[in-house]
Structure formats: structure tokens, C-alpha cells
Structure 1
Amino acid sequence: MEDFFATDDAQTDQDVIPANAPLAEQLRPRNLEDVVGQDHLVGKNGALKRMIVAGKLSSIIFWGPPGTGKTSLARLLANETELHFHAISAVFSGVADLKKVFAEAEKRQRIGKQTLLFVDEIHRFNRSQQDSFLPYVEKGTVILVGATTENPSFELNAALLSRTQVLILNRLDSVALGQLLTKAEELTGRPLPVTDGARDALIASADGDGRFLLNQAETLFSLEIEKPLDSAALAELLHRRMAVYDKDREGHYNLISALHKSLRGSDPQAALYYLARMLVAGEEPLYVLRRIVRFASEDIGLADPQALVQALAAKDAYDFLGSPEGELAIAQACLYCATAPKSNAAYKAQKSAWKSAKKTGSLVPPQNILNAPTQLMKDIGYGEGYSYDHESTEGFSGDNYWPEEMEPERFYDPVDRGFERKIRERLDYWENLRREMARS
């Protein structure tokens, strides 16, 4: 468990680690070069490296999955910049705790010492608590480093986001996880008591979480194991179903790729075969379900809207029934998706719309479709001239809904298959109405 108490000296906190500390704590990086899997941040041209070289550390939000090094990076930043390090968790802290932290930081600032305030799970703070950071970040009383596993765009105030830089931490890949196991073996002075295949399965089971992997390794090191464990013995020992992977370490990714492409290629027999290969090998069913749910949106979309319903229903059925009964629902969803008409129109539309949104920034919608809940807003023209579509002859006003500075764009282009054929006919019908209205 992370240490959420402030330290008077961040460097001392890094150097003094009890001999009986958990393996993950003992292997916490001592410098940026020790960090694995995040070269885009700590490498020669990484964002954090550039900040440190420039001697200008800004407030940061670390966004990434669990066990990818968010806390470690915050501690290292304090060391590299000689800032006072103070850590709190939004789970255990309230308004009173924040007031105390800010008061102490102000005292340090008066004597020329700046504070790096690390807030774990910062998204757990409500909006008013997040607002309380703003004046202290603006005045430089604290350098805020927040950590979250949730999308900051949805969970953090826009005002706070505008004063911080969001840095994304990657899920640790198999290479990075393998490096962690090697470090653990070097620290303990002995190899993990597992076969190569079981080692690969152990890495795959971590799902990118370095802390989880080291905790599993610590369990193995603590036991008297006479001969290396294979995948099946490892799964039984750790009470966790482990997938069986081939020795070239590509089995897991090969099978999920084969499943996805068989679904896309509308081959239900092959798709069911690869699904069986993964589940029989011990793959986590919810991992497979997540991929099928994604597939239902990415490769089927509105060509058959029921595909997503079927995939989510399979997830609910598996949650309710468990294995092996719930695996039938996964097979049903797999077959439904494989036999459904295919379209990636929604997927392409989403990508194009996101690209356009980033490009156009903060353009204001036309005034006629702005909400006017106050008299002042009505007086300045909000909502004026809005056409209520239900009062139109065709239930379609044909109004322009795009910002004045922007030409209408076409993101969604439905295919002529499945339900999207009807959607295309409907869109064409509305487009013809628009032309007729423009001529009249």
C-alpha cells in the first residue's frame, strides 16, 4: 500500500526502505533511468526529462492504469527538483486535510521552499474540493501532481485542467513487465521458480500492472518450490486461472488477433474456435468479453445495433452465472457478432469527429440553438429563431446546427448493409429536404 504521509525530506524517504518492505516497494525506482515502460516521459526527449533539464516543473496530472508508476514518478520529480514532497490520497482526505496541507505549504514558501503535492486518485475529490487547489497552484505555493486512472476530461474541473499538463502513462507491456521480474530476481539473488511458459503466463496475467506482477512474484519467492512450476501448477498455486502461452511469447496476442479478425471476416466457425482456445487455456473471460463489446461497436456498429446489446448481455450473463455456465453466453455473443452485417462507419465517424473537434477548438454553436434559461440570455438573442422540428410538416426543420465559422462536415457515412441501409435512406431523404428548403 502506498505511503500517504508527508515526508520532510523526499530523498531520505526514497533511500531508507525497510528490509521487510514489500518487493514492489523495494524495487521502487531511485531515479528516472530506473523507470520501465514510460520512455515517452522519462527518455532523453521525454516530457518529464525536458522539464527537469529546463528547471521548470509545471503542475501535472498523471493519467494511466494501476501499477504503471504514477506515485514513483511523483517522488522522483521531488528528488530531481529538491522540492518538499507531500503525498495525500483523495480517498482518505477531506477539506480539513487540504487546508492543513496548503497552510504548511505557504509557510515553506515564505522561507523559499516549494512543495510538490502529490494527490493520488485526484478524481475522487468533488468539484468544490478540486477548485480549492486553484489559488495555490496559480500562486506557485504548490506544484500539483495528481494521479488518476480515470479520464481527466470527464473527472476533473476544466479550470484545474487548464492549469496542469496531462501526461499519459502507458500500460506496461510484456517487455517492461519482464524487466521488473528480472530486477526482482537480481534483488533476491535467485530466479523465479517457474518455466519459461509459466513466466510468460504470469506476465500476461498482470494485464499491464507492475505492482500486481511483483506481488505475485513475491509470493513465489516466499515459498519452498522444489522444481520450476509450469503454467497449470502456477495457476493452481496462485489460485488464479492462467492462460497457456507458447514459448515465443506471442500466443496470447496471436489468439486475440485471430479471434478479432475471424469475427470481422464473418467466419463464425473460426471465431468460435479461437474463443474456445483462449477460454480453455485459462484466459480471463471478462478480457474476451471486453474485446467482443469493442468489436460490436467498431466493426458492426449501426449495421446491426443489436450486436452491442448482445455483447453487453453476455457480460451481464457471465457476471451472474460465472464459469462454466456463463461461457455459453460469451459463445452466443461471439456467434452473433460473427454472423452480423459489418460496418466500421460509426468507428470512422467517431475518429473524424474527434479530429475535427480538436482542430476547431471552442467555436460557439449558432445562437438559435443555444439554451436561454435567463431573461438576460433571451435579451441578447439566445434561442431566437429556433425551429421546433416537431412542428414542421415532415418533423424536420432543416436548420443549420453548425458554428458560423465552420462549414458542415460529413463524419458518418453509413454503408449499404444491414440496418445502416435504412439509415442511409433516411439521411438521403433529409438531405433532399434541405435542398428543397434552400431553393424555396
Structure 2
Amino acid sequence: MSTEDAPALFEAPAAGGGRTADDRARPLADRLRPGALEEVVGQDHLLAPDAPLGRMVRAGHLSSVILWGPPGCGKTTIARLLAARVGLDVEQVSATASGVAELRKIFAAAAARRRSGRGTLLFVDEVHRFNRAQQDCLLPYVEDGTVVLVGATTENPSFELNGALLSRCQVLVLRRLDEPALTELLDRAQRLTGGPLPLTDGARAALIAMADGDGRYLLGMVEQVLAAAPATPLDEAGLAAVVATRAPAYDKAGEEHYNLISALHKSMRGSDPDAALYWLARMLSGGEDPLYVARRLVRFASEDVGLADPGALQAALGAWQAYERLGSPEGELAIAQAVVHLATAPKSIGVYRGFTRAQAAARRTGSLRPPAHILNAPTRLMKNLGYGAGYQYDPDTADGFSGADYMPEGYPPPAERERFYEPTDHGNEQQIRERLAHWERLRRRKLGETGG
């Protein structure tokens, strides 16, 4: 499918900078589609003269790229305009509807064009949906320049595309449209439709916020406002009654899932309860399973709070149990309570580090036997072999501490061995640190008394 017979999506812009403004049968987003790269909003970091795509256009040579960004940020528009700017014929496929057989026909046509001195841009929408066979089919034709691949995806390419394909393409990250970019789109829509929207200043700001960075969605809401034709300007409440709302972008199985749980985790670790509650609300409003969050809170309580606040683990487990008993939405408050508890708790990774060091030592030392004095001796033979001989029951000693050595036989003596658990001075661990120091003094005294 060349430029001449491409669908409307890839039609060349009309002379004078775009299509006719009075074609009201088409969606507003299509009527406002930019006719030149300079008209694209919000992506200057890619399109400016000294930016990656700007440099390619200036050189007149386009490399294969993957355009990764959220919906409505201009991926398809940029692909169309790049093809027109560098003089490439266009083949467009959808990853959800094109198989290997269709791709091979496209490559054969591209090879024929190449022999006549014409290049081909292959635009693959939703390229992340290509399976391995389809991706492998692309490789030789991208590598030898038969086609210039421009793939569009809303998903993290490193998760969805194989390494061989990624190594042959430059991944360019498009940004969600910020407020100035959305404002410019709104101004263009008003110029095209003949006047300001019937909205108060507050409703106009709310409309931009509701777009959530998606230009196409913004223009769709503009059409809904125009179709309502209110007699007086709508305020925020009136706008909410007219336009369709949607949940924030969130994919429980995709990158956004990992981004938001990372944001929640790091906000709690950074002792910011407000940010932690915000990210929790974002996850739950996006449809995340509250039990997934509850499990992560239990892990956080052990890994990041530890013994600096022994109650943190109980709080996380209590929130999990409360949600299992109450369900949504009542049980979500228990999860929020645990999030605030963890965010405001003193932090320590002493237990985490100590266990990591102990695991390394266990792997390094193999199968060393426990010292005989701490082994049980249920049989006469075991007693004769010295099991349990000399064991001291610590609670029954004068100090409540025997100072015995509990590490394996053959392990370095206490003065020479690595310390696994090192409590911090944060929260409850300060008392633990003092207690361990007291026991160390007692151990040294007892060793001195016995000549050890």
C-alpha cells in the first residue's frame, strides 16, 4: 500500500497546511491533524532541529524507530509526517490484523520500489502485539534497508519486543501532552469551530485535566460539549454531566503497574505519607487488586522497616486480613492505614542486610555441623557422643545470658567473624543495638573468666 492508495490516515496534507476546515463529517481530531511536523505539539524533545527526529529530517534520511508513548500523544501523526518529509512511500499494517504472509507481500513490493530508487516506510501500529514469528520476519528487511520501520506502541518495548529487533531500531519516548500542549490543541479547536467553547474558566481547566495528557481524548470531549450546545457556559459540574469520564491510564499487567507500585514503595521508603496515599489511590482507582498491594506492604514492612518498628509487620498483616474480611471499599481504608503506618515508621534494612550476609555465608561454608552442646540427645548413643554436653540454659543463668558460641564447628571465633545483623540507631533498633553491646561485654567477660 503506497502513499497514493494509503488510507486517510496517511493522506498527504492538502496545499496550504491541512484539510478543509468545514468537513464536519470527520472527527475533530482528524480535522485538526497536523499537516507539518512543526505543528505537532508536546514533542519538541524529539522534533526540534537538534533533536533525534529533527536531525534525521534535516539529513533527509530516516532510521528505523519505535515510537513509545501513551495514547493520544501523536505517534501515528508523526509517522505520517516523517514519511511525507523524507519522501518515502508508506505501507501501514496493524499488528492485530496482519500475519507473516501479508508482511512478505509488503517486503516484496518494497524491494521492487527499492530497485526503482524509491524507499518504503513500514508503519506498524501496536507493534508490541507482534508475536515472535512476526518480529523475526521483520529483521532482515529492516537490517538491509528494504523498509524503514516505524513502530508505534503504548507498551514498554523492552518488555514486548525481542532484543534482535530492538537492536535494529532506535526507541524514542513520546511524552503525555502537558497543559500547554493541551491548551494549544484546545485553542486550535476553538479557531476551527468558530469561537470559544461554552465553558467557564474553571470548566475549561477541568476539561484539560480530564484529558489526562491525551490529545485525541481532549478533542473528543470538545465535540461532546459542542453537541450539547448549552444555553449558558458550563461550570465544572455541568461539564461532568455532559462529557464521558474515564479512569486514569493503568495496565495491571504492563509497565504502568510496575511504575506505580515502585512509586508507592519509594514514597513509603522516603517517609512521605501524602505521596504514598496518592499512589495507592491511583493504583486502586485504576483497578489494581488490593490484595496485591497488601502483599507488597508485608514485604515492605520486613525489608524497609524491619525491627526499627516491630509493629509494622503486624500492621501490614492486619490490613491484609481486614481487607479479606471486609472487601472493597471498606477494606481499602485498612490498607491506607497500613500505608501511612509504614510511611511514617522509622526505617531500617538491618534485618534485610543481615539475612543477605547470612545466606552468602551459608552458601560459602557448606555443611558445617552445629556445635555439639546445642544438639538434642534423645538417645543414649547421642549422649555418649557428647550431644548436649555443657549446654547452658540462658534464662537460668545469673545474667540471663550464657555467652555460649552457637555458630558451626570450625567457624571463626566471635572476635574474628563477620557480623551479619547490625542494628541502626533508628526507632526500636537503638534499644536492640544497646542490648547487643551489653551482651558482647558480658561475652568478653565470661571468656576472660574461663580463659577462652
**Class of the TM-score when normalised by the shorter of the 2 chains:** 0.5 to 0.7
Q: Which of 338, 358, 368 is the matching residue for 1:393?
A: 368
What residue is the counterpart of 1:214 in the other structure? 219
1:303 aligned to 2:309? no
Partner Cα distance (1:217, 1:263) in 2? 39
Residue 300 of structure 1 deviates from its aligned partner by: 7.9
What residue is the counterpart of 2:158 in the other structure? 153
1:8 aligned to 2:4? yes
Alignment of 1:3-402 (within 5 A): 7-8=3-4, 12-15=11-14, 19-240=24-245, 286=285, 302-304=303-305, 325=330, 328-329=333-334, 331-342=336-347, 391-393=366-368
Compared CA separation, residues 130 and 337, structure 1 to 2 (3 A): same
Look up the SS of the partner of 1:117 in the other structure: strand
For the Cα contact (< 8 Å) 2:228–2:242, is it kept in 1? no
Compared CA separation, residues 90 and 418, structure 1 to 2 (3 A): farther
Residue 19 of structure 1 deviates from its aligned partner by: 3.8
Partner Cα distance (1:260, 1:199) in 2? 34
Look up the SS of the partner of 1:218 in the other structure: helix
Partner Cα distance (2:118, 2:174) in 1? 29
Look up the SS of the partner of 1:191 in the other structure: coil
Partner Cα distance (1:89, 1:51) in 2? 25
Partner Cα distance (1:136, 1:419) in 2? 63
Look up the SS of the partner of 1:132 in the other structure: helix
Compared CA separation, residues 242 and 148, structure 1 to 2 (3 A): closer
Partner Cα distance (1:157, 1:265) in 2? 35
Deviations along 1:221-253, one digit per CA (max 9) or x if unpaired, are 12221112222222222253899xxxxxxxxxx
Q: Which amino acid aligns with 1:52?
A: V
Partner Cα distance (1:193, 1:414) in 2? 63
For the Cα contact (< 8 Å) 1:235–1:241, is it kept in 2? no
Partner Cα distance (1:63, 1:71) in 2? 11
Compared CA separation, residues 154 and 394, structure 1 to 2 (3 A): farther
Residue 76 of structure 1 deviates from its aligned partner by: 0.5
For the Cα contact (< 8 Å) 1:201–1:242, is it kept in 2? no
Deviations along 1:322-348, one digit per CA (max 9) or x if unpaired, are 6x6465356334433333334799xxx
4+ long deviations beyond 6 Å: 259-265, 287-290, 418-421
Partner Cα distance (2:196, 2:56) in 1? 38
How does the TM-score come out when normalised to structure 1?
Answer: 0.63
Partner Cα distance (2:338, 2:211) in 1? 26
Deviations along 1:388-425, one digit per CA (max 9) or x if unpaired, are 65835399xxxxxxxxxxxxxxxxx997657999xx9x
Identity %: 53
Partner Cα distance (1:160, 1:262) in 2? 35
For the Cα contact (< 8 Å) 1:63–1:152, is it kept in 2? yes
How does the TM-score come out when normalised to structure 2?
Answer: 0.61
Residue 122 of structure 1 deviates from its aligned partner by: 0.8
Partner Cα distance (1:296, 1:178) in 2? 39
**More divergent stretch after superposition (189-198 vs 331-340):** 331-340
What residue is the counterpart of 2:419 in the other structure? none
For the Cα contact (< 8 Å) 1:60–1:165, is it kept in 2? yes
Q: Which amino acid aligns with 1:393?
A: L
Q: Which amino acid aligns with 1:127?
A: R
Partner Cα distance (2:71, 2:24) in 1? 25
Look up the SS of the partner of 1:222 in the other structure: helix
Partner Cα distance (1:180, 1:25) in 2? 12
Compared CA separation, residues 197 and 117, structure 1 to 2 (3 A): same
Gaps of 5+ in 1: 244-258, 346-386, 396-412, 425-440
Residue 262 of structure 1 deviates from its aligned partner by: 9.7
Deviations along 1:164-196, one digit per CA (max 9) or x if unpaired, are 111111111111111111111111112222222
Partner Cα distance (1:271, 1:154) in 2? 27
For the Cα contact (< 8 Å) 1:241–1:284, is it kept in 2? no
Q: Which amino acid aligns with 2:41?
A: V
Compared CA separation, residues 267 and 96, structure 1 to 2 (3 A): closer
Look up the SS of the partner of 1:57 in the other structure: coil
For the Cα contact (< 8 Å) 2:83–2:90, is it kept in 1? yes
For the Cα contact (< 8 Å) 1:302–1:419, is it kept in 2? no
Residue 114 of structure 1 deviates from its aligned partner by: 0.9
Deviations along 1:295-316, one digit per CA (max 9) or x if unpaired, are 979x989213888x969x88x9
Partner Cα distance (2:241, 2:247) in 1? 9
Residue 136 of structure 1 deviates from its aligned partner by: 0.8
Partner Cα distance (1:122, 1:334) in 2? 37
For the Cα contact (< 8 Å) 1:88–1:119, is it kept in 2? yes
Partner Cα distance (2:369, 2:202) in 1? 64
For the Cα contact (< 8 Å) 2:73–2:176, is it kept in 1? yes
Count of aligned pairs between the two proteins: 331
Partner Cα distance (1:224, 1:189) in 2? 14
Look up the SS of the partner of 2:49 in the other structure: coil
Q: Which has the larger radius of gyration?
A: 2
Residue 73 of structure 1 deviates from its aligned partner by: 0.6
Compared CA separation, residues 105 and 49, structure 1 to 2 (3 A): same
Residue 9 of structure 1 deviates from its aligned partner by: 6.1
